[in-house]
Amino acid sequence: MNNPFNFQLSSFNSKYGSAVFRLSIFAVLALVLVLIFPRYNNAFRYHYEIGKPWGYATLTADFDFPIYKTDDQMSKEQTQLLSTFAPYLKYIPRVQREVKVIPLENMEWLKTEGYSRVTIGQNKYPLSEIYTPKSAYAKYGYEISTNLVLDTARTMEMKAKLLSTLSPTMGLVQKGEKIIDKGDIVTDRTYQILQSLRRSYEDETLGHRQRTLSILGEAMLVILFLCLFVIYLYVFRIAYLRSTSTVLFFALQIFIVIALACLALRFNLTVYLIPFAWVPILTRVFFDSRTALFLHFTTILIASIIVPAPVEFFFIQIVVGMVAVSSLSDMTRRAQLVQTAAWIYLAQSVAYTALTFAQTGVFSSIDPWMYLYFFICGLLTIGCYGLIYGFEKLFRFISSITLVELTDINSELLHTLAERAPGTFQHSMQVSNLAAEAAKAIGANALLVRTGALYHDIGKMTDPLYFVENQTGTENPLLNMDPRDAAQVIISHVAEGEKIARRNHLPEVVINFITTHHGTSLVRYFYNTYCNAHPKETVDESLFRYPGAKPSTKEGAILMMADAIEARSRSLTDFTEESIAKAVNQMIDSQIADGQFAETPLSFKDVEDIRRVFISRLVAMNHHRISYPTLNKSSINNNRQ
């Protein structure tokens, strides 16, 4: 027996299963980020330098910890301690011992290491009493066999034992003891204590519990920031959240810049070399400014968990994001990216300088290397251009740069259209102008709809003479065909256009205009002709309808209107404002009644604004010129005289 709930359950799984998958992308991202976070500084994330003020609250010791000696101090003490050390020599069995002779290589090693004494048995001897075979011969006048050799094992053992007596610490900071106040200058002594505290945090003996809680806190913060971004998408950009490719795009951007930041920190490089501006730039190129800023803020909040001086970092990167979005309102030229990088460099430099002065009030606290880091970061920002191309191919997005390139009428495909179907090409040009103006009026993507309009009829290149705009005084061959066959010839230009577009690797969003610019509308001329010729027959409308799909975007709906209205305007004999308005209104009303715009987000106001634009543009395009008067014969003769 069939389960009546199977369909509902399948629909539920399809709808909510895909939503769970998209949310799981963010969950996996959070896990990966926490795993790649550098652990070298664990819970101690203060940034400090000798000679600069402490920019945090008063710091006190949470536990007892030793003050570790610096590398220089340890090196000096080791050198002093080893100055009294005498390496060990041992006699070679069954060799005479009247003169102490060692191999030349042993002597050279002792001198190179700077030793002045050696130990033989329980006694120490100055190195001057030890000979090599050559020096013994020079002193005594005869060859003396080597009877001593360096006891490497015992020398290393005793040396290590001696060094083990050297303490790596020099005092103790007790729990609750104040280390430094806010605003105090970090001295050499304070720096040594802070470094000791950092080392204590990194020490495995600090405790597994504290380390676990630190990682847990990082995970909670990452999840919180990502959740806030998901909530933003749900409230303001639900269409983005419903697209798996878009969600992957957002997650991949966050991962790339955070991974680069982690890599920089692991190699002790500054995070200001990392071009965090990639995130707002890439997002702005493919989507909108608000989402670009929100994603950028989410990214730098996550990065602030691991970077030194997080407040300074967050302040500067906020400026970077705002400048990147503001200076790149609509990227249509490569030069714009260079300009944006220049503005970002300037903004970073000003923000850093102002923040340093505000915190310290001392000019000497400026680190000139920071300006070099900002400059390198600006150069890396320009590299975003390559990422734009890569993401276009990976996620099938389309940027304004690509759209501008596609609108070049000298491109091979459009040039071929102009040669094979000149009437169709002129029609497409007129439709693109109409559609672009309408898109501007309602806030749609004018560049996108202009591009789609230029390519929407490329399928007519296959048989151009079947379409009236390409017929120059010849009889229309479709009129001699059965209306049903003629309708199929007209309808076929959509499928042919899709084939041509795919062969020429046009973006999917442009192909969508080709397949939807007629929706599921009727080929009205041949449908009416057939119905009139067969009044008693029940006509199968599917033979005269385009296969669709219907447009699902504002831009797709605008193109459908513009295409139909431009073609309709060519059939008018009276180009008055009233006749044009009547034609526009009739065409749009019939498309609405036919349900062609049911899947688009057009509002009533949008439709009215589109009507107004079409009417005004068509009136302007078809305005009457005044007739020039001609000269009569008498005027010509008088002028000659």
Which candidate, 345, 328, 229, 341, places its Cα nearest to that of 284? 328
Residue 428 domain-assigned (yes or no):
yes
Pairing of strands 117-120, 88-91: parallel
Which candidate, 240, 258, 257, places its Cα nearest to that of 384? 257
Same domain for 351 and 445?
no
Out of 128, 163, 198, a domain closes at 163
Residue 402 domain-assigned (yes or no):
no
Same domain for 374 and 427?
no
Give the rounded distance of the alpha carbon of 238 from its chain centre: 20
Residue 461: which H helix or E strand, with range?
none
pLDDT at 310 over 60: yes
Same domain for 447 and 346?
no
Q: What is the CATH number of the domain that holds 472?
A: 1.10.3210
Same domain for 18 and 135?
no
Average pLDDT over residues 25-34: 94
Residue 572: burial class (beta carbons within 10 Å; 0-12, 13-18, 19+): middle
Residue 613 domain-assigned (yes or no):
yes
Out of 361, 395, 429, a domain closes at 395
Same domain for 435 and 389?
no
Average pLDDT over residues 280-302: 93
Residue 65 domain-assigned (yes or no):
no
Average pLDDT over residues 542-564: 93
pLDDT value at residue 44: 66
- Top-confidence residue, 377 or 626: 377
pLDDT at 13 over 70: no
Least confident of 320-334, 341-355, 412-426: 320-334
pLDDT value at residue 551: 94
Residue 175 domain-assigned (yes or no):
no
**CA 445 – CA 420 distance, rounded (Å):** 29
Q: How far is CA 41 from CA 7, 300, 306, in A?
A: 54, 19, 9
Same domain for 348 and 416?
no
pLDDT value at residue 631: 59
pLDDT value at residue 39: 67
Same domain for 491 and 585?
yes
What pTM did the predictor assign?
A: 0.67
pLDDT tens per residue, range 498-511:
999 999 989 889 99
Residue 196 domain-assigned (yes or no):
no
DSSP alpha helix (H) spans, 305-395: 310-326, 334-360, 369-382, 384-395
Question: Which residues, listed in sequence order, are joined to residue 185 by a DSSP beta bridge?
Answer: 53
Residue 328: burial class (beta carbons within 10 Å; 0-12, 13-18, 19+): buried
Residue 47 domain-assigned (yes or no):
no
Least confident of 206-220, 508-522, 616-630: 616-630
pLDDT at 11 over 60: no
pLDDT value at residue 251: 96
Average pLDDT over residues 182-208: 77
pLDDT band at 328 (very low <50, low <70, confident <90, very high): confident
pLDDT tens per residue, range 138-154:
888 888 888 899 999 99
pLDDT value at residue 357: 86
pLDDT at 420 over 70: yes
Residue 216 domain-assigned (yes or no):
yes
pLDDT value at residue 43: 54
Q: What is the dihedral of CA 267, 270, 275, 276, to 10 degrees?
A: 100
Same domain for 152 and 219?
no
Same domain for 449 and 364?
no
Q: What is the dihedral of CA 98, 102, 108, 114, to 10 degrees?
A: -60
pLDDT value at residue 441: 95
User: How does 493-514 read in b/e, with b if 16+ C-beta sit within 10 Å?
Assistant: bbebbbebbeeeebbebbbbbb
Same domain for 328 and 418?
no
pLDDT at 92 over 50: yes
pLDDT value at residue 236: 93
Same domain for 423 and 390?
no
**Structural domain tally of the chain?**
3
Same domain for 490 and 532?
yes
pLDDT value at residue 9: 39
Instruction: Write out the residue range of the structural domain in which residue 380 sits.
Output: 14-39+210-395
Least confident of 3-17, 101-115, 475-489: 3-17
pLDDT at 1 over 80: no
Least confident of 11-15, 178-182, 237-241, 549-553: 11-15
pLDDT value at residue 50: 81
pLDDT tens per residue, range 199-247:
877 665 455 666 778 788 889 999 999 999 999 999 999 989 988 999 9
- Mean pLDDT (the chain) is 86
Identify the three-state secondary structure at position 307: coil
Q: How far is CA 505 from CA 8, 365, 500, 502, 555, in A?
A: 39, 56, 9, 5, 21
Q: Please report, rounded to a whole number, the percentage of residues in the chain having pLDDT higher than 90.
A: 48
